[in-house]
Amino acid sequence: MGWFWATPTQPSSILSRYNPLNLIPVGLTNTPQQDQSQALPLTREESSIPRPDTGSNWEYPSPQQMYNAMLRKGYTDTDITAVESMVAVHNFLNEGAWAEIKEWESIFSPGLAHAWSICRRGEQGPKLVRFQGLPQTPSPKARVMSTLGTLLPNHFSADPPFDRHDWYVERTLPNGSKKQVRYVIDYYSGGEEADGEQVFFLDIRPALDTPTAAAERAMRWGGDLWWRASGGEAREKNRSQ
């Protein structure tokens, strides 16, 4: 999940064969494979996620690029008839991830004092700089949740996320300066609905790289609990009467 492409350039060295913004090999083309059994669309969809370096938005891969990338990664058994659906799900999940990140940023970019004024009441313009796909590197939280699922299967699921991404977001501070914030995204499969529709869950939060990030997570997740436990809803109801 979370693949975006910039305009490919010709690599001049081993290190430059990988885009430093996403660690994806540059030059993945839209050219069909020689033994490809059916044609795939070549059109790329523009995301809603802005880039700070070009003034434009990141672009999602075309189905053909996605298929070429899967083969290059060694997934030679990829069902070509499912590629267009894979791209649609991929784009949908990443738009959802960006919406959640924007919500975090709208609360915390003005500062912790502003954030607490929102979070303590039980309420809930960034740019994506770069990202990394880390499917083989479970996040610490994912490891903890999996362990809890093994020890307490009636209360937690032991199923690990099927993918992980780290997104690096440019945050604008109240004084106008810029700060880079890393977000961790764990992608979970939630099974199927009664109508057969696939369900996905995204666990999105700032990485615990700084004390501020820890405070943000505590405020965001603890604020609503504090509001209800302290009788905030009852107080608001009494004031309105």
The residue assigned the tokens 């690990």 is 160
Give the CA diameter of the chain.
73
pLDDT digits (tens, 9 = 90+) for 20-74: 555 555 666 788 898 889 999 999 999 999 988 888 899 888 999 989 888 887 8
**pTM value > 0.75:** no
Asked whether residue 36 is domain-assigned, the answer is no
Range of the domain at 203: 45-240
Query: Exposure of 181 by Cβ count < 10 A (0-12 exposed, 13-18 middle, 19+ buried)?
Result: buried
C-alpha distances in Å from residue 128, one per residue of 156, 161, 202: 32, 22, 17
- Quote the pLDDT of residue 226: 75
Asked whether residue 215 is domain-assigned, the answer is yes
- Size of the chain, expressed as the number of residues it contains: 241
Q: How confident is the model at residue 232 (pLDDT cuts 50, 70, 90)?
A: confident
Give the count of domains, the chain. 1
Q: How confident is the model at residue 123 (pLDDT cuts 50, 70, 90)?
A: low
- Quote the pLDDT of residue 9: 43
Asked whether residue 4 is domain-assigned, the answer is no
Q: How confident is the model at residue 125 (pLDDT cuts 50, 70, 90)?
A: low
In terms of DSSP H, where are the helices of the chain?
A: 63-72, 83-108, 112-119, 140-151, 211-229, 232-240
pLDDT digits (tens, 9 = 90+) for 159-177: 999 999 999 999 988 888 8
**Whether pLDDT at 112 is above 70:** yes
- Quote the pLDDT of residue 20: 53
Of 225, 54, 230, give the one whose Cα is nearest residue 127. 54
Asked whether residue 39 is domain-assigned, the answer is no
Asked whether residue 17 is domain-assigned, the answer is no
**Whether pLDDT at 15 is above 60:** no
Higher pLDDT, 196 or 136: 136
Asked whether residue 22 is domain-assigned, the answer is no
Asked whether residue 154 is domain-assigned, the answer is yes
Tokens of 9: 């350039």
Asked whether residue 186 is domain-assigned, the answer is yes
Higher pLDDT, 119 or 81: 81
Least confident of 67-81, 85-99, 114-128, 171-185: 114-128
- Quote the pLDDT of residue 10: 42
- Quote the pLDDT of residue 7: 44
